[in-house]
Chain A
Amino acid sequence: MKTELLMGNEAIALGAIRAGVNVVCGYPGTPSTEVLETIAKRRDSDIYVEWSVNEKVAMEVAAGASYTGARALVTMKQVGLNVASDPLMSLAYIGVKGGMVVLVADDPGPISSQTEQDTRHFARFAHLPVFDPSTPEEAYTMIGEAFDLSEKYGTPVIFRPTTQVCHACASVEIDDKRYVNKIEGFVKDSKWVIFPKLSYQNHLKINALEEKISKDFAKSSYNQITGSGSKGVVASGISYTFVKEALLGAAAKVKVLKLATPHPFPDELALEFLEGLDEVLVAEELDPVIEENLLRLCGKAGLKVKITGKLTGDMPVAGKHSYEVVAAALEKTLGLQSAIAVSPGEAPPLPVRPPVLCAGCPHRASFYSVKQALKQTKYKAVFTGDIGCYTLGNAQPLDMVDTCLCMGAGITIAQGLKIAEPNSKHIAFIGDSTFFHTGIPGIINAVYNENDITVIILDNSTTAMTGHQPHPGTGKTMMGNITEKISIEKVLKGCNVGYVVKANPLKLAEAVNAVAKAVDYKGVSAVIFESPCIALFKGSDIQEVKENCVGCQTCICELGCPAMSIQGGKVTIDQNLCNGCKLCVQVCPVQAIGGHEA
């Protein structure tokens, strides 16, 4: 035993290693990414780890491994499960052999996501058990419990932490022992082939299994009843830690149910908790899953207990929970005073600080050159964006992202726009990792159906937004192997894209010219802008503003680079932030920006 400071995701990773995981697959996505990364970093050589091209692929690779008896873990963020929902729904019917855990990190807030969807609904929808940890130290052992449950009943198990658990750190006691899972191998059997008749039979089975697991969960050590009184609180996930802290100083008697297994709902335990209570507040992030279950139970058992929470307007229906949110609800509904009121004086106006593309980011140059090229042509144009750092291209002054929906949708939305609005140009932006994730089917669809769009591929040789993971175009695997790079250019040409050109976005004239030609082409065309992410390759040619600056501010107003600001009425370049991309040098009308030597 030793104690380590671990982030929730790191604790889950080490817990999975301890539980004898053999195969780990996933696709990066905040707040889930560090689970797979930590396993890759800390694994023994017999654990296989891969970044798959997307979540559906990852789920299926993990399922295949599990069919042999291997313990498999697949990791993704909540929207990733939408992509992987097809295999998940069927896998719930077919079942698994080796323990298979589907780690899906939800993102209340959202901090870095398109939706605030609640994966506990998916668990219920797919008839699968789900665990919901409150702290990193709890998650460390709970993931092992999830593997055991999966193997015991031959069912995939969902493990659902939320952002504030994934990204919180805590002192965690680490076990040196590791469970060794023997892999039997795949045994041929008709049970692995899904057919309507089998599906009917298995539907009955999985419903029966839910009842069994509900009883198991009622006895789980991760669910606890503490305290006493006629008022109660049910809390799950991070909200439990807020309830616990708020009640530290409270004098009133309260009965608390900490609930870590929201589905199948542990009815027996909940009934024991409800016994003798008049009123219960439910503290859970995202949707009222526990709250609805309590209402169901009260109706079923004829209990007269008032259940308050999101459905009564006592808890917010959107956004992440905080101590303040939970403490205010405790005070309002149960009369428990715990919040400390502090009212600082009125603050002076503060500058807004939205996230921006980094100084020197090649995406800025790509967006700018497309903007310039389209200005020259005088066409009306719509710019469809996609998911990644480059979604930030929507901000002023670039203003080059008119739509953003989900992974891979930029290319396909552009096609729909073109069909219904044929006289405009439709330009889709997509990053390299997103291209491999779900971009390619859209390209094939456009070529096959004779659409006329231009696709701009922003190839920065990494999955930048989530912290620089390798992908098929990088020639590196998560196991550290060097593999043949999959050429985006060859993929496009192999899909019969009629016009494909590569360009360096940091060479403005060349870049604008490449875009102008591609946009002119009738049919599907593509520009691959190749320039590495600045977090991977530090520039050295740092720029500064020279004395002949006339103060026109063209650089700032055109580019919005965060290394530039106006200080004392003059444009200045922060020497620590500048990465030497020299886009500003090419935009300056009076050649007033240059390197130190110049």
Chain B
Amino acid sequence: MKIDCLLAGVGGQGTVLASKIIAQTAMSKQVFARSSETIGMAQRGGSVVSHVRIGSRDCSPAIPNGMADLIIGFEPAEAVRNIGILKPAGKLIINTNPVIPVTASLGGASYHVEDILKYLKNSAHEAIFVDGQKLVAAAGTAKALNVIMLGVAIKKGLLPFSREDILKTIADKLPSKFVALNSKALEVGYNFADYK
């Protein structure tokens, strides 16, 4: 089992927790895991990425360009920012709902989400679009987008784990008050039907 997965989003979207769940699940299957996160000033609403590398002790903690098997994009523009890291045969799961930075409204660069989504569709071997807003409503909390995205990845066979594996990590590693919420979010992602 060797998988390199990048999670890209905006500070506050929960990329760190999602990457920890992936790495912990690999470890529960006795597979070596590395990851690295953005921590510090950039967390305040800035661009954040998490790298998760499973199955190799000899790798560095950050995925080299053109080496990622999978990108989970929590936000369209952030996925584009990191697209160079994807393998030519790599896959992409993308939340289609943009987080529009206030700087765009203040007259900075504008945000054309349709162009960005079109670009993403053409950039990956397979691009799965997820209407995060709709699924978040089904899960009952906006905080669970991260685990919903994991549910989609599992269903699509893009991570080498079963739904039960992830549920076990959620139950074992998260504070008890968050277990029910995240388990439900995983189900919502898992049961998601394709959005074209």
CB-CB < 8 A to A355: which residues of B?
11, 41-46
Q: Among the listed B34, B81, B109, which residue makes an inter-chain contact with A169, where contact means beta carbons less than 8 Å apart?
A: B34
Q: Is A45 an interface residue (CB 8 A)?
A: no
The CA of A242 and the CA of B67, in the complex, are separated in Å by 14
Residue of B nearest to A322 (CB): B62
Instruction: With both chains docked as a complex, state the minimum distance between the C-beta of A20 and any C-beta of chain B, in angstroms.
Output: 27
The CA of A389 and the CA of B34, in the complex, are separated in Å by 29
Q: Is B88 an interface residue (CB 8 A)?
A: yes
The CA of A30 and the CA of B32, in the complex, are separated in Å by 27
Binary per-residue interface labels of chain B (29-46) against chain A in the complex, 1 for a CB within 8 Å, 0 otherwise = 000111111111111111
Instruction: With both chains docked as a complex, state the minimum distance between the C-beta of A30 and any C-beta of chain B, in angstroms.
Output: 4
Knowing A340-B67, A342-B66, A392-B44, say if A245 contacts B102 (CB, 8 Å): no
Question: Could you tell me if B41 and A5 are in contact, using CB atoms closer than 8 angstroms?
Answer: no
Instruction: With both chains docked as a complex, state the minimum distance between the C-beta of B124 and any C-beta of chain A, in angstroms.
Output: 10
CB-CB < 8 A to A562: which residues of B?
45, 101-102
CB-CB < 8 A to A170: which residues of B?
32-35, 61
CB-CB < 8 A to B39: which residues of A?
30-31, 111-112, 167
Q: Is the interface of B mostly helix, strand, loop or mixed?
A: mixed
CB-CB < 8 A to B64: which residues of A?
245, 322-324, 327, 339-340
Binary per-residue interface labels of chain B (70-109) against chain A in the complex, 1 for a CB within 8 Å, 0 otherwise = 0000000110110110111000000000001111111011
Residue of A nearest to B102 (CB): A562
CB-CB < 8 A to A397: which residues of B?
106
Question: How extensive is the interface on chain A, given as a class?
Answer: 35 or more
Instruction: With both chains docked as a complex, state the minimum distance between the C-beta of A319 and any C-beta of chain B, in angstroms.
Output: 14
CB-CB < 8 A to A111: which residues of B?
38-42
The CA of A302 and the CA of B37, in the complex, are separated in Å by 45
Binary per-residue interface labels of chain A (13-42) against chain B in the complex, 1 for a CB within 8 Å, 0 otherwise = 000000000000000001100000000000
Instruction: With both chains docked as a complex, state the minimum distance between the C-beta of B9 and any C-beta of chain A, in angstroms.
Output: 10
Q: Is A250 an interface residue (CB 8 A)?
A: no
Q: Is A560 an interface residue (CB 8 A)?
A: yes
Question: Could you tell me if A5 and B109 are in contact, using CB atoms closer than 8 angstroms?
Answer: no
The CA of A342 and the CA of B85, in the complex, are separated in Å by 8
Of residues B37, B38, B60, B112, which shows the largest number of chain A Cβ atoms within 10 Å of its Cβ?
A: B60
Residue of A nearest to B52 (CB): A169
Residue of B nearest to A326 (CB): B60
CB-CB < 8 A to B60: which residues of A?
238, 241-242, 244-245, 323
Within 8 A of B (CB), among A111-142: 111-112, 135
Question: Could you tell me if B59 and A31 are in contact, using CB atoms closer than 8 angstroms?
Answer: no
The CA of A64 and the CA of B83, in the complex, are separated in Å by 52
Question: Could you tell me if A112 and B40 are in contact, using CB atoms closer than 8 angstroms?
Answer: yes
The CA of A561 and the CA of B109, in the complex, are separated in Å by 17
CB-CB < 8 A to A350: which residues of B?
77, 80-81, 109, 116
Binary per-residue interface labels of chain A (343-355) against chain B in the complex, 1 for a CB within 8 Å, 0 otherwise = 1110111111111
Knowing A324-B64, A327-B64, say if A248 contacts B58 (CB, 8 Å): yes
CB-CB < 8 A to B33: which residues of A?
5, 169-171
Within 8 A of B (CB), among A223-260: 238, 241-242, 244-245, 248
Knowing A31-B39, A344-B84, say if A556 contacts B106 (CB, 8 Å): yes
Within 8 A of A (CB), among B144-184: none
Q: Is B24 an interface residue (CB 8 A)?
A: yes
Question: Could you tell me if B46 and A354 are in contact, using CB atoms closer than 8 angstroms?
Answer: yes
Knowing A171-B27, A323-B60, A353-B45, say if A561 contacts B32 (CB, 8 Å): no
The CA of A562 and the CA of B142, in the complex, are separated in Å by 16
Q: Is A341 an interface residue (CB 8 A)?
A: yes
Question: Could you tell me if A31 and B40 are in contact, using CB atoms closer than 8 angstroms?
Answer: yes
Question: Could you tell me if A344 and B23 are in contact, using CB atoms closer than 8 angstroms?
Answer: no
Knowing A353-B47, A358-B44, say if A168 contacts B36 (CB, 8 Å): yes
The CA of A465 and the CA of B40, in the complex, are separated in Å by 7
Instruction: With both chains docked as a complex, state the minimum distance between the C-beta of A117 and any C-beta of chain B, in angstroms.
Output: 17
A selection of 22 A-B contacts at a CB cut-off of 8 Å is: A5-B20, A5-B33, A30-B40, A30-B41, A111-B42, A168-B35, A169-B23, A169-B36, A171-B32, A242-B60, A244-B58, A322-B64, A324-B64, A324-B65, A344-B123, A351-B101, A354-B46, A356-B102, A556-B102, A560-B102, A565-B100, A566-B105
Binding site for B on A (CB under 8 A): 3, 5, 7, 30-31, 111-112, 135, 164, 167-171, 238, 241-242, 244-245, 248, 322-324, 327, 339-345, 347-358, 389, 392, 396-397, 465, 553, 556-557, 560-562, 564-567, 576-577
**Which 3 pairs show the lowest CB-CB distances between chains A and B?**
A112-B40, A342-B66, A168-B61
Binding site for A on B (CB under 8 A): 10-12, 20, 23-24, 27, 32-47, 58-62, 64-67, 77-78, 80-81, 83-84, 86-88, 100-106, 108-112, 115-116, 119, 122-123, 142
